[in-house]
Amino acid sequence: MNDQNLERYGRHILLPEIDFEGQQKLLDSHVLVVGLGGLGSPASIYLASSGIGELTLCDFDDVELSNLQRQIVHTEDNLKTNKAHSAKGFISSINSNISINVVDKKLSENEFDIYVNKYSVDAILDCSDNFQTRYSVNKVAFKNKIPLISGSAIRFEGQLAIFDFRSNSSACYECLFPDNGEENELRCADHGILAPVVGIIGVMQSLETIKVLLNLSPIKNKLKIFDGKSNEWKTIAFKKDKECAVCSCSSDQS
């Protein structure tokens, strides 16, 4: 680790749970962020500032004026710009010493699979806003035994779950939210979202990602639900579904 990194990440290195070895592990890690909206914005910013050595930013959408209420990685100067490219520009201004890749098209499940294999992804953040993408990312993460850090938010409420597929005992996203083929998701454009709520969940996704990469006992098989009105968290434990179409074929060994 060079002198510049020692100075930049010095406050991390002071933490005994991280130290030099842990910070170097972060610098050697590659994280895929799917969705650069309300969740992906704060998550990607903190991952970059924390020294994740390689980030891949994936989003096919363009920045709109209505996004700026909560998607803090984008600015007025980047309206009508692809979100992944917009985010790269902002993040590079924070930390120019990390590698940032951009995927600016909608990936199929097969394309996600090819990408994570080709580029050796260590963790995936699902910051998307639709079930189709969440189910696809879940399948790819499970297949390749890559930890998945999933977040969502609507109105005053946010949710966070970590699926650590390095352990065969981990449940998956579909265990928690079975795919019944119905499009019944709530969308911010229709129901609203309080801006700081997505910030809280996105920051928590970045925190849990760092804990996953450093093996610092991340939350597993628990759904964390945040109530922005009361500022309270509720925890719901869940188990691997033995009949899950995605992960039921694996053993219960960890």
Q: Domains, the chain, ranges and CATH? A: 8-237 (3.40.50.720)
Beta partners for residue 100, in sequence order? 55
Query: How confident is the prediction along the chain (254 residues), in pLDDT tens digits per residue?
Result: 899 999 999 999 999 999 999 999 999 999 999 999 999 999 999 999 999 999 999 999 999 999 999 999 999 999 999 999 999 999 999 999 999 999 999 999 999 999 998 889 999 999 998 999 999 999 999 999 999 999 999 999 999 999 999 998 899 999 999 987 665 566 656 778 999 999 999 999 999 999 999 999 778 899 999 999 999 999 999 999 999 999 987 544 44
E strand map for the chain: 30-34, 54-58, 99-103, 123-126, 148-154, 157-163, 222-227, 232-237
Q: What is the pLDDT of residue 201?
A: 98
Q: Closest by alpha carbon to 225, among 237, 235, 217?
A: 235
Residue 94 gets which letter from DSSP? H
Joined together, the tokens standing for residue 66 give 């209505």
Q: What is the pLDDT of residue 254?
A: 41
Q: What is the pLDDT of residue 225?
A: 98
Joined together, the tokens standing for residue 63 give 């920045």
Are 213 and 122 within 8 A, CB to CB? Answer: yes
Are 54 and 24 within 8 A, CB to CB? Answer: no
Q: What is the pLDDT of residue 188?
A: 59
Q: What is the pLDDT of residue 218?
A: 72
Task: State the catalytic residues.
Answer: 188
Q: Which pTM does this prediction carry?
A: 0.93
